[in-house]
A = this chain, B = another copy of it.
Amino acid sequence: MPSSIAPEDAALALLEGHFQAMPPVAALQMRIEDFDGRCLALAAPLAAHVNDKGCAFGGSLASLMTLAAWGLVTLRLARAGLAADVFVADSQVRFHAPLFADLRARASLADETEWDGFLLRLRERGRAGLHVDADVTLPDGALATSGRLRYVAVAKG
């Protein structure tokens, strides 16, 4: 049966559903902004994330980056036809400058060449890890926050 929804859009809709089903994520008021196959961008309004200094709360910035990175791995696994649970294993985040604007987090693989080996290990051993880079930029393009996160995927079933 033909469908008017591209497979990529369906995967994004599924991811959006996953996100909104998680209470802490729904509280972030975030939405998927863009996915070009390699980079996933999420956005959230500053109003939901202001701290005592009127800029974005560090925990919110780290959460949005964590979600972007998790969503990227989840989307790419779905595209590869693999069902797996994806867990964050560790994260290193640097806060460079306060952000007084809406939040936009981007995530992409730290090293695109890691992907094939990651898929192979996941298929053969049922478990594999890889690194994702994420950032949030200021309106002028400079870095507000940047980080590297390691994720572990565990094959389902």
User: B-contacting residues of A (Cβ < 8 Å)?
Assistant: 18, 21-25, 27-28, 47-53, 57-60, 62-64, 66-67, 70, 85, 87-95, 98
Contacts and interface: CB of A to CB of B under 8 A. Distances in A.
A28 B60 CA distance: 11
A155 to B, nearest CB: 14
A18 B25 CA distance: 22
* Protomer copies: 2
B91 A87 contact: no
A95 B96 CA distance: 23
B85 A95 contact: no
A50 B25 CA distance: 9
B62 A50 contact: no
Contacts of A89: 94-95
A59 B50 CA distance: 17
| Most B-side CB within 10 Å, residue of A21, A53, A93 | A93
B95 A92 contact: no
B92 A91 contact: yes
